[in-house]
Structure 1
Amino acid sequence: MGTEDPTAFSESHPMNGGDGVLSYARNSWAQRGAVDSAKQMIQQAIADLLDIEKLKLESSHKFQLADLGCATGTNTFFAVQNIIEAVDAKCKLYSSKHWNNSQSLGLEYQIFFNDHVGNDFNTLFRSFPVLWQYFAAAVPGSFYGRLFPKRSIHFMHSSNALNWISRVPKEVVDINSPAWNEGSIYCSGTANKVLDAYSTQFKNDIETFLDARAQELVGGGLMMLILAGLPDDVLLCQTLIGKSYDILGSCLVDMANKV
């Protein structure tokens, strides 16, 4: 656990657990696509920026990696494997330049799988690859706060997780607020004050997130964050996912009216 109570500053809504038809594990192909698309960027970033000497990996033989917002299913394992393969390749290149051989440094990998306390870690660990080359541990708690000791992690990774803010802004659910998000289940962009409320929440969250990671990363450590974005002149309600939320919200309203 982190040094702070994650329930004190964030709402916890983990992905559906288990491996049934409605589970995250069986309904996260889009998220898997993001992991696959980022593989080349991760390889390039590690090849260009990972400083073996500064990290002193040749003497410690230990590489600690954290996947923040791992959820359940196999996506996190593919992401971790991509990083390990890239680090191994960089270590072999380092060895060939400094010791005239192409052997790796024989690193031992410690992987920390992080998500909310309510995440289905049991299903996650039961779905481990048959052959895995690292020591694994679960780290429950919100990443909108400290999770690890200072200067302890060499590589931070998070994919399709930071788009989930820590809480719904209070203003958008207050019927007396000018930012009340009437009839919508997401940031629909129909009112500027609604947009401002969500934007302020995200800015506060990302500042908290980055401050925590700055303390936890070792000097010379790397971080890869993968999340969707929009151009400044495009509203979420104008996108495919926004239109999907509109349909879902309409269905939920119809269901509520029948109760």
Structure 2
Amino acid sequence: MASDQTRNSIYSYIHNSFLQKIGVDKAKGIIFETILEKLDIKQIFSSSPTIFRIADLGCAAGPNTFLAVENIVELAKLKCQFHGLDLDSLEFQVFFNDLVFNDFNMLFKNLPSDKEYYASGVPGSFHGRLFPPASLHFAYSSYALANLSKVPDELQDTVSPAWNKGKVYFTNSPKEVAEAYTMQFAKDLESFLKARALELVPGGLMAFLFTSVPPDTKCALTAVLDLLGSTLMDLVNMGKVSEEKVDSFNLPLYFPNPIEFKDLIAKNGSFTIERMHALELPCPEVGEGVMHIRAILEEPIKENFGAQIIESLFNQLQNKIAENSVAFDLSYKRAFVPCAVLKRKMYLEND
């Protein structure tokens, strides 16, 4: 669990998730359209007519999770009102899920006092089962799908073609490294979808926001991750970090492109894609972007290399980004954030 000092740090995720908040705000209209047109309230309430259950998967501990679930509650109430259902008899239950080391104490401490739902914490990996069968009406995940369940095994094997020596990500690495990342993401998403297909009621909805990179082109986000690896190697040359530690460290992140995402949804076969739109988010300044990356990656970097390198690492990374013009070179395409809303099919082969 993070200390009070870490949680309240100016570098913490809580203080550096403004881009995620903009995404949540912009996704509200897309989710509303899908709830209004595609959520069959009478069908999904046929067995449990008074409780609407929502899961936020990979919720973290910041304020954006409350905004997201409040939006879903508001939109579901509007849909019920549209169908003439008695709102006084309708109650909401929200499950906040994240890995066991998430700061659930901080999450619950900041729950809105005027919330219109019952709140519960569900610790565990969303790559597996978390809920009883057909118990959820709406599942939501904001940016969390980028987190792999593990670093691909091949990257840790010094005799494998996918050994990622001197790198922390797969861009500009041998093709075997990229293939290992791609295969790991495909396995993880399939596990995620299988679990949700069992947990959602037939006709239930699931909404994602996920970071995506354009295929077959240079991308500013992945270029920055490459520069992070390069900065770590600079620290190796300065004697501040051992080369073996850099060789053993790889980021468990993957940013699928929309075509890849759609193909994996189709392969799973349990869901239809009802909406999928790219959200336009502002491009942060270099300093803001580094703060954003630091908020996400500081803890795993500390765990592997120790806290003593953090200030030097991110200061040098910021300088390196500016020197390499990644933020200003128009040949580097920006990452973007699709919002996808899926519907669990009414009938599956195993139903």
Q: TM-score range by the shorter chain?
A: 0.7 to 0.9
Note closer, same or farther for the CA distance 1:200–1:17 as it changes in structure 2 (3 Å cut).
Answer: farther
2:16 alignment partner in structure 1: 27
SS at 2:122's partner residue?
A: strand
2:53 alignment partner in structure 1: 64
- Which is further off, 199-208 or 164-173? 164-173
Query: Could you state the TM-score of these two structures normalised by the residue count of structure 2?
Result: 0.63
Where structure 2 has 5 or more consecutive residues not aligned to the other structure, the ranges are 241-351
Note closer, same or farther for the CA distance 1:215–1:58 as it changes in structure 2 (3 Å cut).
Answer: closer
Tell me whether 1:216 sits opposite 2:227 in the alignment: no
Distance 2:88 2:161 in 1: 59
Note the C-alpha offset of 1:105. 5.6
| Matched AA of 2:74 | E
Within the candidate set 225, 230, 234, 1:245 is matched to 225
Task: Answer whether contact 1:17 1:24 (CA < 8 A) is retained.
Answer: no
Note the C-alpha offset of 1:182. 2.2
2:31 alignment partner in structure 1: 42
Distance 2:172 2:83 in 1: 50
Note the C-alpha offset of 1:239. 1.4
Matches within 5 A, 1:1-259: 18-56=7-45, 60-95=49-84, 104=87, 106-234=89-217, 238-257=218-237, 258-259=239-240
Task: Answer whether contact 1:17 1:72 (CA < 8 A) is retained.
Answer: no
1:8 alignment partner in structure 2: none
Task: Answer whether contact 1:159 1:226 (CA < 8 A) is retained.
Answer: yes
Note the C-alpha offset of 1:250. 2.2
2:298 alignment partner in structure 1: none
| Matched AA of 2:136 | I
- Which is further off, 222-231 or 137-146? 222-231
Alignment RMSD (CA, Å): 1.9
Distance 1:76 1:202 in 2: 24
Distance 2:42 2:122 in 1: 28
Task: Answer whether contact 1:61 1:105 (CA < 8 A) is retained.
Answer: no
| Matched AA of 1:51 | D
The alignment of Structure 1 onto Structure 2 pairs a total of residues equal to 235
1:5 alignment partner in structure 2: none
Note the C-alpha offset of 1:31. 1.6
> Where has structure 1 moved over 4 Å in runs of 4 or more?
none
Note closer, same or farther for the CA distance 1:57–1:121 as it changes in structure 2 (3 Å cut).
Answer: farther
Note the C-alpha offset of 1:41. 0.8
| Matched AA of 1:40 | G
Distance 2:165 2:155 in 1: 8
Task: Answer whether contact 1:155 1:217 (CA < 8 A) is retained.
Answer: yes
Deviations 1:108-150 (A, max 9, x none): 1100000000001111111222311110000000001000001
| Matched AA of 2:194 | D
Task: Answer whether contact 2:167 2:173 (CA < 8 A) is retained.
Answer: no
Identity of aligned residues (%): 46
